[in-house]
Chain A
C-alpha cells in the first residue's frame, strides 16, 4: 500500500485512537502512517453489531414467550457463548443449557444465580426479574 492510499474513513476509532499502517513512501521505502479507519472494515464491524442486536432482540422475545430463561438473554447481551459463560461461572456447558429452561431456572438457588449475576455484572434481582 502506498502512503497516499491510506484510508481515512470515519470509524469507531474516532476520538479514541488511530491505526498504525505500514506503507510505502514516495521513494518506495516502508514507513508508517496513521489511519482514522477504513470503510470496508467499519461496515464489517457494523454488520457484526447489527447481527448481535438482532440476536439479543430475539433472545428477549424467547424469554418473554417463556421459551428460554433470562440466562440465555444475558449471555447474548454480554456477547458470550457457551464456552465463555462456562468459564466465567464454573458450570458445565451441559448444565448451563439446562439452566436455559425457564422451569429449571425458576428452581435455581441464590448461590447458582450469584455465579451468573457475577458473570453478567448484574444483581440477582435483575436476573430474576427480567424485563428486556
Chain B
C-alpha cells in the first residue's frame, strides 16, 4: 500500500489561516511562532461592513483582514518567501499537490467548506476561504491537518478536488502555498516586525478612507442596526443580527475572538519588547473583546425573541459605538507609540 506521511505536527487554532501559517513556519524551523504572534504580525485585526453585498442572505461583515493577507504580511516582515500557486486545470492542480507531498513538503491548501465531509453539516455553507495543511497521502486518501479540528483527518481524492475547486466568491482555484528558504529570525527582526505590524493595523483601522472600514465600519454597522427593525421587520432584522454574531468567527465562540487574539499578541509582544504600554494595550483589546461578547449576548436576546423593541436595537448599536470608541483610542495610542 502506498503511504507517504510527512512529519508535520497538527496544530489546533482559533482561526484556520493563522493555524496553517503558524504550523508551516514551525515545520520549517521557526519554533517561536504562535497563533497570536502570526495574527499580530500579519495585521489580521480588522473590521469591514460591505454595503449592498449579501452573504447567505445577510450583511457582509468581516472582523479580520482579507484571506491570505495574514500569512503574506507576517512572512514579508520575517523575511520569509511564500510560494503560491493557483490553477486553471484540475489535472495540473492534482499533480502539483501530489508532487509536493512526494518532495516531502507539507503544504497549505485553500478550500471551500461546503463539501468538506468532516465538517459539521450546520457549518457547511459556500465559504471558500478555509485553509488546511496536506501532510501526506495513504491509499489514495490525503492526510489533512485542519486547524479548526482537534485531531488530524483525511480527504478522498474526489473530495479534495471538489473543495479545492469550489466555485463562487473567493474561489480557491486549487490554491496551494508554502514557505520557502526559511532562515532563522533574530530577536531584533521580530521586534521590528512587531512594531511595523502594529502600525500597519493602526493604519488599517483608522486611516482607510470611507465609512465602512476599520473603526468607522463598526460605527457604520451600529448606524444600520438602528434602522433594521423598521426597515426589515423583526424577523429579518433578527437574522441580520444573528449573522453579525456568526461572522465574529467562522467556527468559534463568537464575541470578538479576534480581539482576544490581538490582546494575546500584545501580551506576547511584551516578551520581545518589555514596554508596559503593550500590556496596557493588551488590556484595552481584552476589554473590546469582552464588549463584543456582551453585544453578541444582547443581540442574541433579540433574535431569540426575548426582546424586540427599538430600544433593544439601539442598545446593541450603542454597544458597538462604545467598542468603536475603545478600539479607536487603542489604535491611536498604537500610532503614537514608539517601541524601539
How many chain A residues have a CB neighbour from B under 8 Å?
Answer: 38
Q: Does A22 lie within 8 Å of B126, measured CB to CB?
A: no
| Any A CB within 8 A of the CB of B310 | no
A123 interface hit (Cβ, 8 Å): no
Known contacts A22-B36, A47-B239, A80-B126, A16 near B118 by CB under 8 Å: yes
How many interface contacts (CB-CB < 8 Å) are there between A and B? 127
A-contacting residues, B66-119, CB 8 Å: 114, 118-119
Q: Which residue of chain B has its CB nearest to the CB of A55?
A: B57
Judging by beta carbons under 8 Å apart, are A16 and B14 in contact?
no
Number of interface residues of B (CB under 8 A): 56
Residue from B126, B246, B289 within 8 A of A79 (CB atoms): B126
Q: With A19-B252, A38-B253, A84-B167 as given contacts, are A45 and B263 in contact (CB-CB < 8 Å)?
A: no
* Chain A residues, CB < 8 A from B150: 17-18, 34
Residues of chain B contacted by A48 (CB below 8 angstroms) = 56, 58, 239, 242-243, 246
Interface of chain A, main secondary structure: mixed
Cβ contacts under 8 Å, B243 to chain A:
44, 48
Contact with B along A105-129 (1 / 0, CB 8 A): 0000000000000000000000000
Q: Tell whether A79 pairs with B14 under 8 Å between CB atoms, given A22-B260, A39-B300, A40-B297.
A: no
Which residues of chain B come closer than 8 Å to A62, judged between CB atoms?
Answer: none
Interface residue B254 (Cβ < 8 Å from any Cβ of A): yes
Q: Say yes or no for A26: interface residue by CB 8 A criterion.
A: no
Instruction: Mark out the residues of chain B between 17 and 70 whose CB falls within 8 Å of any chain A CB in the assembled complex.
Output: 36, 54, 56-58
Ordered by A's residue number, 21 sampled pairs between the chains whose C-beta atoms are within 8 Å are A7-B253, A13-B120, A16-B118, A16-B120, A18-B150, A19-B148, A20-B252, A21-B253, A21-B260, A24-B286, A38-B253, A38-B254, A40-B245, A40-B300, A41-B246, A44-B245, A45-B246, A47-B238, A48-B243, A79-B114, A84-B167
Given A19-B14, A19-B253, A44-B241, list of 10 further CB < 8 A pairs?
A17-B251, A22-B264, A30-B267, A38-B253, A43-B300, A43-B303, A44-B300, A48-B242, A51-B239, A83-B168
